[in-house]
Every structure is written in C-alpha cells, then in structure tokens.
C-alpha cells in the first residue's frame, strides 16, 4: 500500500471521528425511531394483502415493501433493530414490538435446512436474551444451536451452508462466520463445549481455505464431504471468482473479530487486522469509506455502493478497536463510516417505507436488491451506533 492512500484515509477518519463524537449517536437513533414507526405501519398494511406467514420487512422493490417469511435468512434483522431501539431508548413501546416480532422467528430454531441460524435466531432472540434474560429465549438459543450443529461435517471441519445446489457438494460461504456467535453463546449458556469446538473448527478451516495471500476472501469454498478436499473456490455474489465482494470482506472482518472475543486466540485477532488492512489499503475504497459492491469491478466508479457492507465493517471496527494496538485508527475509520452513512446515505424522512439507509447492494449478479434499502444494513448501522457509544452488550 502506498502512503498516498494511507495518510488521507487516516486524516479523514480521525477528523470525522471527532465531529461524530460531538454530534453523538442521538441523531442516528432519533431518525431511526421515526423511520421505524413508519415501517411498522407500512408492514401492518402490507400484511393485510400479503401471503400468509410473512413476518418481517426486508427491502423495497419497485416502490413496494418486500415482506418475508421466518425461513428467509433476513427475517431476524428487523426484530433485532427493535431490540436495539429499546436498548438505546428504554422506551417500553420498542420492547413490546421487539417481543412481538421476535416471537414470529422462534420457530426457526428447528429448521435444519439452513446455516443462517445466527442471522435469524441470534439477531432476534439473542438480542432479546441479552436485554431481558428471559429463560424462554435461552431455551430457543440452545435449541437453535443444536439444530445448527447438525450441519457440521467433522471431515470437512465446517458447517454446510447451502442445500440442494447442483453446482456444489458441500458449499461453505464466508457469511457463515456470522453464525458462529450463536454456537459460542450456546456453549456458555449450556456448558457444552461441543458448540465451542464446532465454531473453532469452522473458523480455522475457513481461515485456511477462504483467504487469498492479500487477505481478501472468496465467497464460496466447495468441499468434498467424504474427504474434506477443496473442490472449487468461487465468488458467487461478486464480480468474478478472483474478486473481493465487499460484503464478504465485511463478514470476514466481523466474524474473526468476534472469534477473538470468544476465544482470546490471537490468530483470530491477527486475521481480523489483516482483513482490515486489505479493505483500507485498497485503492478502490472511496474517500467516504463506503465501498463499492465489489472492490474489483472494472467499471468503478460507475457501479453501486454497498451501505450494508459499510455498516458491518463499522460495527466490526468498533469492537476490533477494543482489542488491537491499532484501536485508535480502527475507531477513527468506524466513526468516518458512521458519520457518512448518517449524513449521506439515509433515506429522506418519511420515505422509503421507513427504512433507515439507502444504497445497499444485495446480489448484483442475480440483479437482486441493487441500490436499495435492506434490513441488514439498518441492523448493523444501529449496532454500530450502540458500539460507538459503548452501549452494546457483548
């Protein structure tokens, strides 16, 4: 990395960090409350004409609110947002809504056909348990972890991501790092070390096979379930197999930071630091630190941004700053991202059906959710605000 990239980014991060610290997270949460009031109303109206079983808002498509069933990997994010609003405001209104929307997701605890148990259960029920210590939520977390553990193959050393995919035998995606937190929590709650061992095995195998020499990540590694041999390395949702899909890099940064918190194994801390180095030393990272959807799209800068990736990165950096000697720099970068998301990527008040952030990219190769509001962008944005204020419960 040439110094001409490092110095301007560091200056921007530190100066913006001071500004944002002065403005406080109040601005972001005040806007989020108003938008979420609208989203609740829009969701209630949309449910009147939607198919049965639609439980959470996910995005906006062609001006219409997109609702999803509990089995969708994004179903837990909106309940999680409600828990974050309650955590910040202590307003019982948000507690009531959080409980109601979380109840709609709990049935997923026995859905063994997906690896997305962490996204669905931990972002909803997990946050609820942190704030209420409701023993029922504890039971749901443990049942969900048992279900997720059934997807672990000890020969491969990983949890299988997708079923019924003709192109892959045992696909493992970088996103799956985010589901390990559920297993770590279940190990602590139950005293059963098998959950911990599965999470560590998955993290180690992913670190070995998903990452390139520059610490960028492939999206999908396909394994032979009989031998554990790597069959293919692909970037399914990115520009090309050899490219760095932005949200994939964000998942890796967040995942290994979390793994260090749970294990105190410095190899995970170093991995997170190296992923951060790849992201912030990349000449294609824009000055506002909100990445393009893929760092290697040759059409940059005329390509979509991904505010969701930026929100995940910011949240991860706040935690990483607590553990690393580079903490001041990481927090400065996170402050810059959050300030720019707050100032330049928010929806107009009372618009976008009540979503908070615009300009996320879901799955560009499939032409899905491009330059759109998406629930997980809002979720990790609010999480980043809590972490910036030191209010987040780890």
Residues annotated as catalytic (active site), given as ranges? 116, 175
- Provide CB contacts within 8 A for 88, sequence distance 6+: 25, 29, 382, 385, 386, 391
Structure tokens at 139: 């039971």
Structure tokens at 186: 């279940």
CA triplet 10, 13, 15: central angle to 5 degrees? Answer: 105
Closest Cα to residue 345, out of 278, 280, 291, 284? 291
DSSP count for the chain of H helices, then E strands:
14, 9
| Helix/strand/coil percentages in the chain, nearest 5 | 55, 10, 30
Residue 58 CA to residue 76 CA, distance in Å, equals: 10
Residue with tokens 């029920």, as numbered in its chain: 125
Residue 231 CA to residue 9 CA, distance in Å, equals: 38
Residue with tokens 């609702």, as numbered in its chain: 67
Residue with tokens 């293919």, as numbered in its chain: 232
Residue 248 CA to residue 219 CA, distance in Å, equals: 6
Closest Cα to residue 206, out of 218, 197, 196, 194? 218
Residue 170 CA to residue 225 CA, distance in Å, equals: 6
CA triplet 309, 313, 317: central angle to 5 degrees? Answer: 175
Residue 389 CA to residue 394 CA, distance in Å, equals: 13
First to last CA, the chain: 33
Residue 76 CA to residue 84 CA, distance in Å, equals: 12
Collapsing DSSP to helix, strand or coil, 242 comes out as coil
Collapsing DSSP to helix, strand or coil, 232 comes out as strand
Closest Cα to residue 341, out of 311, 372, 379, 383? 311
Residue 216 carries which DSSP code? -
């Amino acid at each position: 990395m040439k110094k001409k990239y490092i110095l301007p980014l560091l200056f921007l991060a530190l100066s913006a960090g001071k500004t944002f610290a002065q403005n406080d997270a109040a601005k972001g949460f005040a806007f989020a409350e108003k938008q979420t009031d609208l989203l609740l109303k829009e969701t209630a109206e949309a449910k009147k004409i939607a198919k049965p079983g639609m439980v959470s808002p996910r995005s906006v498509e062609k001006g219409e609110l997109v609702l999803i069933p509990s089995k969708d990997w994004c179903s837990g994010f909106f309940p999680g947002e409600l828990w974050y609003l309650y955590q910040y405001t202590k307003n019982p209104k948000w507690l009531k809504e959080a409980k109601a929307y979380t109840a709609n997701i709990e049935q997923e605890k026995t859905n063994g056909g997906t690896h997305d148990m962490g996204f669905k259960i931990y972002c909803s029920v997990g946050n609820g348990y942190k704030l209420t210590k409701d023993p029922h939520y504890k039971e749901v977390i443990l049942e969900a972890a048992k279900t997720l553990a059934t997807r672990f193959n000890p020969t491969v050393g990983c949890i299988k991501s997708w079923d019924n995919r003709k192109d892959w035998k045992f696909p493992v995606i970088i996103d799956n790092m985010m589901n390990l937190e559920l297993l770590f929590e279940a190990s602590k709650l139950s005293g059963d070390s098998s959950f911990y061992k599965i999470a560590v095995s998955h993290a180690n195998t992913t670190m070995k096979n998903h990452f390139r020499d520059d610490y960028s990540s492939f999206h999908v590694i396909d394994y032979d379930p009989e031998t554990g041999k790597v069959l293919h390395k692909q970037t399914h949702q990115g520009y090309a197999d050899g490219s760095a899909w932005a949200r994939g890099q964000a998942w890796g940064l967040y995942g290994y930071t979390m793994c260090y918190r749970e294990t105190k194994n410095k190899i995970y801390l170093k991995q997170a630091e190296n992923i951060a180095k790849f992201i912030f030393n990349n000449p294609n990272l824009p000055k506002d630190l909100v990445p393009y959807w893929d760092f290697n799209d040759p059409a940059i800068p005329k390509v979509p941004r991904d505010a969701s990736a930026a929100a995940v990165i910011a949240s991860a950096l706040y935690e990483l700053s607590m553990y690393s000697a580079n903490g001041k720099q990481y927090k400065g970068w996170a402050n810059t991202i959050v300030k720019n998301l707050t100032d330049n990527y928010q929806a107009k008040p009372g618009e976008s059906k009540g979503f908070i952030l615009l300009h996320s990219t879901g799955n560009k190769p499939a032409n899905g959710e491009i330059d759109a509001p998406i629930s997980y962008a809002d979720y990790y944005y609010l999480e980043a605000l809590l972490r910036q204020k030191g209010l987040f419960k780890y």
